[in-house]
Structure 1
């Protein structure tokens, strides 16, 4: 396909505008624009898709509220989830995916990396004729290492993000297909297994709270194995994400001790990635999180002991 001169000019102007926007606008405002775009696009797409039952179409303000809630992973709904069609459920899953903390942190890292690259170019172009050539080369080398380390970290986070989602989707889909009780629940509700698996995994990882069933996971209270599959996914995408990220980096150092990897592990504060914590802070975070989980579990067992005894009886 040939690109016309007008299309080329428009593309050039758009790239220049995008570059100027990323460089001159503060990161906070960029994120606000990003989420506002998600809200509006999500609403228009949901409003133009047919629900499961056309006679029970949600009102526009309910759809907009649902779009905002999904994109901000705040897990508040004004309509029952089984009202939505499979396509609408996938749109909600995409909104949760794009608004999740791990995904938005990847976007922040890419923007910071782009700004660092452009700042480096501007700095060395303006100081090309300096007499302190050795100092300039050393400074350039350090900036290049920082940029390459941010690029390396972004790649690791992306692989982590994709691996967790793909692996979790495979496990949940296999479980539902192999366990008759879980498959029967979805069959009775007329839910598609792949769609249910996608929405559930993304919602668990992003802590979105939206599930394709009206009863959330209560309808699977007898499928203990399914709940056990989802528990680590919730932790991988939320509280313990920094812990697992550092564990992965430490494992990689055992395999390949590259310069960028060492820089990421030793200079986490210079990369300005909020989820990249020091080893000490990761240990404290992991112990604190597991401690709270254990306390909550013991309290739950204590408070529901009579109900558990009657259920077993």
Structure 2
């Protein structure tokens, strides 16, 4: 896969160019350190999309198709042992598995992106942040300090700060950390009263940092967070490439011995409909 689908006219992050410029600016070792985390940014987005597609298929097979075929809704949830209560249990467990995997894949992208900046800006050279401490939070804080004397870093700082403060990302972080530390969030089904919305599948309410988090309709939540993550990634990548362009000597590097066969693509685009491709 070479790119993620974008709306017409949307900008794209040329990751091949990022690799070329990092090698030209910092050398082969920096490029080799960058490759896996740059790839992870793309593949985590793809993982999240795959998990969402699996979740949609599960909901369709277990709920939407039987309801459209005339099965009463109570038979889908409350049946006796002989008629398949195991199938009902499987639906909830499988739904949780797909949802948890999807939100965790999305949440990991922020720290993957922080590592991309760490190597691309050369902070690993002087251990400006200890490698074991690199995260979205520590890179945002370091960028805030660096921008005081290096205003050319401001677009990167603004892009990363916009991600860290975005409501969709904060909701994603709350859900992910609750799942990680408190044993998960139950999936439940709410039954509607119309043919247009016969049901909705929800993540249960929970409390995080002494604040109540409401139930969330899963499909809408995953689409919103994916859109926020993919757009923030591209915005940050564009700002990074702009900084690298200004810091690299005009002569292009010789990449003849470093053919770019890294899975994950050459360009990354933001997308309006990420999960339905």
TM-score range, shorter chain: 0.3 to 0.5
Q: Which structure dedicates a bigger proportion of its chain to helix?
A: 1
Higher RCO (CA 8 Å, separation ≥ 6 residues): 2
Q: Which structure dedicates a bigger proportion of its chain to strand?
A: 2
